[in-house]
């Protein structure tokens, strides 16, 4: 009996170790900010963090930024099924869970927090685009939840009130680690015995003979050759970007400017102020080559945020976009329906999206849209 019990206990321990090992393997590419527990799940190229603490939608969105992510974006039925079934499997204690959809910028036009329009939705009939609020709350129900007691269908609620404090699901892009190969080399050392032989030393003294030779002095004419002097100007090397504004961020060099990719989330106003305080400004993009460089940099850095603020704004005059130094935006890479063709009066500042590289316009100050950003310093 004791032997059987011991075997069962050992089997249980080994089983738990296997489960823990599989969990660590599944989550190996999840961002380091995320815990390794049953509330974090791997799905495609993101990790989903099911958060049990309750917040309003605005604070839940900011909380996801803390983990270098955003509120979950559900782009298809498979992902909808995965999120819903995971919540059920976790025996979720709340019936309402915040997701990342909002029509805060324009009533009835629902977008994810990265600015992309919803291509898939699972609204309860009468909710979302067909819902304009009720009684005195019309126009204030701008954020989406998933309801577990309604088959996972989506409903719209007030984003910032103290009444609707709900749990949430964050998604964070995976960080793919390079595979490291370790080679072990065995070295064999052979030691040969050393034999020392001592030979007696014999010293012989020879008498010294001194011979004096007359000194002859020969004078040779001196020839002076003058070589033309060539003056070479010193080569001026620009200081590397890493020596500029040393802060915890990533810096790249592009055609006379240092571009600093800052991962801290700020409003557009605060981000621009921080760039200016360091002697620069939010990034200006003047052509396709520079656009491609910035977009590829974000991709190569495995940027974990949805995008980054750039310096374009139309706060001075709706629809007339300028850079933060007042110069007009002559080149643009706007998503169709964004920028000059988007008439939302509170979406006055531009960000570049990391998924498609397109520009979107957002509220400059709302905490909901706090983003990472890119500073530019001219050398």
Q: Percentage of the chain with pLDDT > 90?
A: 36
Q: 16 or 88: which carries more pLDDT confidence?
A: 88
Give this prediction's pTM: 0.49
Q: Percentage of the chain with pLDDT > 70?
A: 70
Cα 266 to Cα 271, 366, 373, distances in angstroms: 6, 10, 8
Residue 345 has pLDDT above 60, yes or no: yes
- Count, in order, helices (H) and strands (E) of the chain: 5, 15
User: Would you place residue 186 in the very low, low, confident or very high pLDDT band (cuts 50, 70, 90)?
Assistant: very low
User: Would you place residue 12 in the very low, low, confident or very high pLDDT band (cuts 50, 70, 90)?
Assistant: very low
**pLDDT average, residue stretch 54-65:** 88
> How do strand 371-378 and strand 257-266 relate by DSSP bridges?
antiparallel
DSSP classification of residue 243? G
Residue 149 has pLDDT above 90, yes or no: yes
User: Would you place residue 231 in the very low, low, confident or very high pLDDT band (cuts 50, 70, 90)?
Assistant: very low
How far apart are alpha carbons 350 and 67 in whole angstroms? 23
**pLDDT average, residue stretch 177-203:** 46
Q: Per residue in 301-338, pLDDT tens?
A: 877 677 899 999 998 888 899 999 889 999 999 988 88
**pLDDT average, residue stretch 203-210:** 43
Residues sharing a CB contact under 8 Å with residue 322, sequence separation 6 or more, in sequence order = 312, 313, 314, 316, 328, 329
> How do strand 349-353 and strand 359-362 relate by DSSP bridges?
antiparallel
Report CA torsion sign: 260, 332, 304, 299.
Answer: negative
Q: How many Cβ atoms are within 10 Å of 171's Cβ, its own excluded?
A: 25
What does the block give as tokens for 116? 């992309």
Residue 24 has pLDDT above 70, yes or no: no
Residue 291 has pLDDT above 80, yes or no: yes
Residue 25 has pLDDT above 80, yes or no: no
How far apart are alpha carbons 262 and 303 in whole angstroms? 10
CA angle 153, 155, 156 (to 5 degrees): 160
Q: How many Cβ atoms are within 10 Å of 31's Cβ, its own excluded?
A: 19
Residue 204 has pLDDT above 50, yes or no: no
**pLDDT average, residue stretch 282-297:** 94
- Residue 14 is predicted with a pLDDT of 45
- Residue 243 is predicted with a pLDDT of 57
- Residue 370 is predicted with a pLDDT of 82
In this predicted structure, which of 98-112, 134-148, 152-166 has the lowest mean pLDDT? 134-148
Residues sharing a CB contact under 8 Å with residue 162, sequence separation 6 or more, in sequence order = 56
Average pLDDT, the chain: 77
Residue 51 has pLDDT above 70, yes or no: yes
- Residue 344 is predicted with a pLDDT of 65
- Residue 264 is predicted with a pLDDT of 83
- Residue 131 is predicted with a pLDDT of 65
Residue 74 has pLDDT above 60, yes or no: yes
Residue pair 252/258 in contact by the 8 Å Cβ criterion: yes
Q: Please, what are the domains in the chain?
A: 24-173 (3.10.100.10), 241-378 (3.10.100.10)
User: Would you place residue 91 in the very low, low, confident or very high pLDDT band (cuts 50, 70, 90)?
Assistant: very high
How far apart are alpha carbons 337 and 117 in whole angstroms? 10
**pLDDT average, residue stretch 221-233:** 42
């Amino acid at each position: 009996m004791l032997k059987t019990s011991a075997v069962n206990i050992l089997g249980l321990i080994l089983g738990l170790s296997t489960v823990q090992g599989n969990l660590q393997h599944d989550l190996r590419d999840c961002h380091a900010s995320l815990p390794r527990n049953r509330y974090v799940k791997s799905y495609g190229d993101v990790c989903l963090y099911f958060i049990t603490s309750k917040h309003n939608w605005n604070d839940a969105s900011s909380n996801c930024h803390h983990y270098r992510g955003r509120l979950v974006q559900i782009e298809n039925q498979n992902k909808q099924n995965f999120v819903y079934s995971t919540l059920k499997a976790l025996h979720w204690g709340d019936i309402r869970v915040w997701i990342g959809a909002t029509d805060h910028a324009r009533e009835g036009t629902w977008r994810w927090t990265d600015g992309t329009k919803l291509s898939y939705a699972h609204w309860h009939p009468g909710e979302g685009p067909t819902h304009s609020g009720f009684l005195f709350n019309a126009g204030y129900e701008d954020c989406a939840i998933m309801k577990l007691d309604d088959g996972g269908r989506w409903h719209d609620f007030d984003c910032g009130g103290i009444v609707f404090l709900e749990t949430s699901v964050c998604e964070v892009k995976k960080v793919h680690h390079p595979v490291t190969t370790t080679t072990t080399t065995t070295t064999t050392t052979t030691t040969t015995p050393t034999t020392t032989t001592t030979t007696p030393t014999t010293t012989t003294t020879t008498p010294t003979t001194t011979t004096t030779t007359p000194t002859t002095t020969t004078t040779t004419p001196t020839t002076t050759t003058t070589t033309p002097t060539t003056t070479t100007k010193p080569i001026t090397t620009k200081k590397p970007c890493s020596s500029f504004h040393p802060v915890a961020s990533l810096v790249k060099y592009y055609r006379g400017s240092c571009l600093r990719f800052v991962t801290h989330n700020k409003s557009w106003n605060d981000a621009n102020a921080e760039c200016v305080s360091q002697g620069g400004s939010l990034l200006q993009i003047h052509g396709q080559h520079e656009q491609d460089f910035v977009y590829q940099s974000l991709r190569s850095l495995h940027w974990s945020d949805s995008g980054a603020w750039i310096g374009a704004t139309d706060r001075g005059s709706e629809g007339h976009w300028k850079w933060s130094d007042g110069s007009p935006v002559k080149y643009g890479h706007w998503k169709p329906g964004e920028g000059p063709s988007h008439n939302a009066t509170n979406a006055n500042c531009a960000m570049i999206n990391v998924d498609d590289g397109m520009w979107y316009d957002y509220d400059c100050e709302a905490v909901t849209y706090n983003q990472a950003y890119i500073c530019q310093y001219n050398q």
